[in-house]
Chain A
Amino acid sequence: MNKLIACAGALLVGLASFGAAAPVRAAEAVAIPSQSWSFDGIFGTFDRAALQRGLQVYNEACSACHGLGYVAFRNLGRDDAHGGLGYSEDEVKAIAALYSVVDGPDDDGEMFEREAIPSDRFPQPFPNDKAAAAANGGAVPPDLSLMAKARAGGPDYIYALMTGYEDPPADFEMTEGLNYNRYFAGHQIAMAQPLFDDAVEFADGTPATVDQMARDVSHFLMWAAEPTLETRKQTGLKVLLFLIVFTGLLYAVKRKVWADLH
């Protein structure tokens, strides 16, 4: 029994070391301050008001350069399999109509543009990577659908990045055309600060400070990366409760069966 505990301890230490030793950019990693989110923990859920504000931030501040290509407009509706952002069908259609997508070919063989409908995905802002780089100083703005899972720290990292723009320290040599960011690996990021106070006017009246917008867009991007998060955690709770009770019962059965041998 003691040895079992010792082994478990060794295993945990080993695992912890693996976790600690595996940041994406090991040599230059900057410690990302951890935030608390409503979707953290066993009972985590999305804050739909935050998600809707975050979508508005994406629409108005980010979508000009960053795609959200794995998210479909229908995913935003409350009828979506995992609850979406809570919008009604009409609201989803209205949001989709803000965007235009390329469709076709029509009967003349021509491609044409039309307003997006719920079954479309968010369109890419640029037709290809070269156009994206040309419009953005040589750097391609990445698609944001999975950003909350594609960076160590996830939504904490996105929040840190959005709020991390500051003047470089006196002894730091900046490259022309790049911007100083406290939390970006190497500190020099091609993207200029995207969020400024009151850049957006929230429908629910929440003051649009940089902090608020950063928090809401990080929240939204976590949803965009994993829309099934709430279903996952709720299912997990039921599964684990069942397994704990059932394993307890199995232990009792095991003891009963073995009783005549002990």
Chain B
Amino acid sequence: MSNGFMGNPVVRWIEYRLPIFSFIDHSVGSQYPTPRNLSYWWNFGSLAGIALVIMIVTGIMLAMQYTPHVDHAFDSVERIMRDVNDGWLLRYLHANGASFFFIVVYIHIFRGLYYGSYKAPRELLWMLGVVILLLMMATAFMGYVLPWGQMSFWAATVITNLFSAIPLIGEGIVTWLWGGFSVDNPTLNRFYALHYLLPFVIFGVVVVHIWALHVHGSNNPLGIDAKGPQDKIPFHPYYTVKDLFGLGVFLIFYAAFVFYAPNYMGHPDNYIPANPLNTPPHIVPEWYFLPYYAILRAIDFDFLWIVPAKLGGVILMFGSILVLFVLPWLDRSPVRSARFRPLYKQFFWVFAAVCVLLGIMGAKTADGHTFGIANVVISQIATFYYFAHFLIIIPLLGIFERPKPLPTSIGEPVLKGGGMPAGATAKPMEKA
């Protein structure tokens, strides 16, 4: 902070009683050193935080007009769309915001997978992130139920029924979750309460996630630690302005969907009021749940004779996220970034393609065929590969892969051989 700002008597008065300005400066300002070589893949964390704020603000404004009762929920959403001033905008911002929140978070996660951001000393940071993902999924699931359309109701029925797969206590748990003997008003009401609550829990976990990040700072595309201050630059103004630009790009895509394709990522059936007596021909979750839905439906056989297919599907579906928790211990390679791991890099892209394939299969009918092969078989192969990637390939790569030689420092590729006079580079932690 320049002397001009901190010299201001009002600022000094506040700072003496609550050092918020220096706190901000040390968190995201000129006193927070960041690797100088972060690429645009590092923008997605801040985008995720902004998406969360957008969801909370639009959500609270919607909550002022929404009625969480089975006889009024659908009508209240239509009232928001038609009669509430700019209600249509709030609703489309919130619905598309959820999709964009997941787009941004999935890219953020894949960045972490590629560059080894989950490795020491960032294991806890990574695990907090997985917790955030789980909370997001719970929040999104409950939020989708609230408009009480056909998909809302039937998705709630399908997913809550899964818990009956738990041996002995399953049926009891489902009745307890429902608040009755089927998805009905008590279910809707409690989903509303929890949907309002969880985003603030997410916010808390995000604070801890950022706190954990700031202990050791960001990873970087080379995956090597900073050797000294010459490898770092102050977060402000370099990354504040880069994040702002990234936000602008994000908002352009977001606005394109909100204003010109607001229902593209949704399902037409959710514009039909929920009817417990009429099952839609094809129940599908929102796109960001499709890969897990594919894994769930892939297990159509009893496991090892004692695990029923339904329970097997549920275990693998949750397992596909839980396996992320132990990734830092599955991957023993001392090299972080895929840039210097030629084998891991290829397996990464295959894994990404398999995830996309699982998403495509999640939207298809369970009993159909694609290019002559049964959909279930394709899903089974893709599910097997998904787990093989984490449980077989990654541990083996840790043992057998020969990585490329690492550069000596972060600054080296930039400072050496660039033909720039030495004095032209900014001094570390100072804006030239």
Contact = CB atoms under 8 A, between A and B. Distances in A.
B260 A27 contact: no
A239 interface: yes
Nearest to A185: B281
Contacts of A154: 268
Interface residues of A, number: 51
A81 B89 CA distance: 14
Interface string B406-426: 000000001000000000111
A235 interface: yes
B82 A227 contact: yes
Interface in A208-247: 225-228, 231-233, 235-237, 239-240, 243-244, 246-247
Given A14-B356, A247-B252, A261 B282 contact: no
Given A26-B365, A27-B281, A250-B244, A236 B255 contact: yes
A260 B365 contact: no
B260 A236 contact: yes
A26 B364 contact: yes
Contacts of B205: none
A258 B359 CA distance: 39
Contact of B425 (A243, A254, A260): A260
A10 B353 contact: yes
Nearest to B78: A70
B233 interface: yes
A19 interface: yes
B351 interface: no
Interface string B152-187: 000000000000000000000000000000000000
Given A22-B363, A42-B260, A260-B426, A243 B251 contact: yes
A22 B290 CA distance: 11
A112 interface: no
Given A251-B245, A257-B237, A260-B426, A10 B356 contact: yes
B260 A250 contact: no
B248 A243 contact: yes
B396 interface: no
The binding surface of chain B is classed by DSSP as helix
A19 to B, nearest CB: 7
A203 interface: no
A133 B274 CA distance: 18
A90 B426 CA distance: 72
Nearest to A148: B271
Interface residues of B, number: 55
B241 interface: yes
B29 to A, nearest CB: 14
The binding surface of chain A is classed by DSSP as helix
Contact of A240 (B237, B256, B290, B424): B256
Interface in B228-282: 233, 237-238, 241-242, 244-245, 248-249, 251-252, 255-256, 258-260, 262-264, 267-269, 271-272, 280-282
A149 B271 contact: yes
A18 B363 contact: yes
A22 B283 CA distance: 10
A261 B36 contact: yes
A6 B364 CA distance: 25
Contacts of B256: 236, 240
B290 A235 contact: no
A146 B273 CA distance: 10
Given A14-B360, A19-B264, A228-B81, A233 B36 contact: no
A244 B252 contact: yes
A19 B1 CA distance: 49
Given A14-B359, A232-B259, A22 B245 contact: no
Given A13-B356, A17-B360, 13 more contacts: A10-B352, A18-B360, A19-B264, A22-B267, A26-B282, A146-B78, A146-B272, A150-B268, A232-B262, A236-B260, A239-B255, A243-B255, A254-B242
6 contacts: A22-B363, A27-B365, A146-B272, A185-B281, A226-B81, A260-B426
Q: Across the A-B interface, give the 4 residue pairs with the lowest CB-CB distance, nearest first.
A: A236-B259, A247-B248, A150-B271, A21-B363
